[in-house]
Amino acid sequence: MKKLIPIIILAVIGLGVFGWAKGFYNTAIELEEVIGEQWSKVESAYQRRADLIPNLMKVAERYAEHEQETFLKVTEARSKATSIQIDPSNITPAQLQQFQQAQSGLTSALSRLLAVFERYPELKANENYKEMMNELERTENRIKVERDRFNESITPFNKHVRQFPGNILASIFGFEKKDRFKSDDGAEKAPDVNDYTRK
């Protein structure tokens, strides 16, 4: 019987370690799923903006038909922005930077387009155009909200995998600290559509 005591103790310790490791792993997976779900909402908000642009240009073309070069630049920027796909389970700083640069390029091109539209009072008076601008503003606000929520979803995961002793298991299981979406300079608040025409 005395010979069994060390074996029993080791078995109890082993079960305890297994339970701890299992709990750590499952929690990390759950937190990653939350991050992935929130990233999909970020992409959806940006996609909504990209989907609005062709309709906006279609309404504007009748009034600003001589602005084809500007329309082309916006179309090219939109194509580049929508071509970048990121796997939320493996987001790297380089991928985030590439995604953000493409979206910033689209924002800049859209800013120039809306500044051009300021020269066409009949276009600005068009009800469809007004509604598109309102929808664009709502979408920009949604982008800001979803980016903030994505960043907030990163915090619990990073704490989980970086705090001792969980960081030991994180290195064993291959969980790494995730990077947040960094705002462009001056992007700490949701943009007002009127801001586009001031740039």
Q: What is the pLDDT of residues 51-85, one digit of tens each?
A: 999 999 888 888 887 888 888 999 999 999 999 88
Taking the chain, what is the end-to-end CA distance rounded to the nearest angstrom? 83
Residue 45's pLDDT is 95
- Using 50, 70 and 90 to split pLDDT, how confident is the model at 183? low
* Confidence band, pLDDT 50/70/90 cuts, at residue 161: very high
d(CA 68, CA 80): 18
- What is the rounded average pLDDT for all residues in the chain? 87
Count CB atoms within 10 A of the CB of residue 113.
22
109-134 pLDDT, tens digit each: 999 888 888 889 998 899 999 999 99
Q: How far, rounded to the nearest angstrom, does the alpha carbon of residue 150 sit from its chain's CA centroid? A: 7
| Res 63: pLDDT | 84
The answer for 176, left when phi > 0, alpha when psi is -120 to 50, beta otherwise, is beta
CA distance 173 to 138: 41
Query: What's the rounded Cα separation, in Å, for the pair 152 and 180?
Result: 9
pLDDT band at 194 (very low <50, low <70, confident <90, very high): low
For tokens 């740039």, the residue is 199
Q: What is the pLDDT of residue 85?
A: 85
Outline where the chain has alpha helix (H): 4-61, 68-83, 93-117, 121-125, 127-162, 166-173, 193-198
pLDDT band at 179 (very low <50, low <70, confident <90, very high): confident
Domain spans of the chain? Answer: 11-81+90-198
Choose the CATH number for 11-81+90-198 among 1.10.540.10, 1.20.1440.20, 1.10.390.10, 1.10.10.10: 1.20.1440.20
pLDDT at 92 > cutoff 90: no
Distance separating alpha carbons of residues 96 and 84, to the nearest angstrom: 10
Residue type, 184: D
